[in-house]
Structure 1
């Protein structure tokens, strides 16, 4: 059984590396070096809203819709520990009235929701990504081009898609 799971995992990994694949990756494969590079870039672009007020950050994968959102795993979120920001699991977010502000359930302070909306391999060393953020009623969205050089994924271009 273990061998079968390993074989399936390897096949999925190889399929994700296929340069002819033009579809977005399954959400469970977003938690990779390219996904991390996209989110780190997004974090550097966040505006300084409510200066001096403590904030929490939550990472979600894929689309956010009426059915909810897919939180990143704690292992993936742990990759950002060096940033010294308070990351929480998106499952610990709460919607509070009257204006439906998304908050950290523990502190009841507004949280930045960081979204890795789409991740697509375009070749063996390049990726296209769509990322977004929201904080209270503010939001922004970027399209990114990510390239792997010398084993390190980094953003090589960005286009602002939306925001206020």
Structure 2
């Protein structure tokens, strides 16, 4: 009996020491229903910059740094086909001089970069996410809370944390 109690308390202690706050999920796990819901919500928050000009969109996962960015897979991007937007794989984007605009290689026009920066489960049915967008020199970042309810993942709270 004492051994079982000791084992149970050790297991509960290990669960309490969950390091999920410091250890991010692998980027390939961002391409799930919660990641899709976060990116779809981000798209609804995009401003109408440069009206009348065709837009392209590119989804990246994790951090963007000097080493580059991690593009979402084409399979993940296909989840957004119903939006009828032109998506370009981030590995194909071009840096256009003189102001280093990140652009669609076909049109040479600036592309919206949609970044799913962080995705972290907080329980079996909730997630925290950080997402942002950039277009030329404009950008915004958001903290999102997502919830799975009736089998559908949706954003229940969005807070803008930074913008230009």
Matches within 5 A, 1:1-164: 20=18, 21-22=20-21, 23-164=23-164
Shift of 1:46: 0.1
Q: What are the ranges of 5 or more consecutive residues in structure 2 without an aligned counterpart?
A: 1-14
Provide TM-score, normalisation by structure 2.
0.87
Distance 1:35 1:127 in 2: 9
Shift of 1:24: 2.3
Superposed CA deviations along residues 21-66 of structure 1, whole A, max 9, x for unmatched, are: 3332110100000000000000000000011100100000000000
Shift of 1:97: 1.0
Answer with 112-121 or 18-27: which moved more: 18-27
Q: What are the ranges of 5 or more consecutive residues in structure 1 without an aligned counterpart?
A: 1-17
Conserved? CA contact 1:34–1:153, under 8 Å? yes
Shift of 1:124: 0.3
Between the two proteins, the alignment pairs up a number of residues equal to 147
Conserved? CA contact 1:56–1:110, under 8 Å? yes
Conserved? CA contact 1:103–1:109, under 8 Å? yes
Conserved? CA contact 1:61–1:115, under 8 Å? yes
Distance 1:107 1:97 in 2: 14
- Poorly superposed stretches of 4+, deviation over 2 Å: 18-24
Conserved? CA contact 1:24–1:121, under 8 Å? no
Over aligned residue pairs, what C-alpha RMSD do you find?
A: 1.3
If asked which structure has higher relative contact order (CA below 8 Å, sep 6+), I would say 1
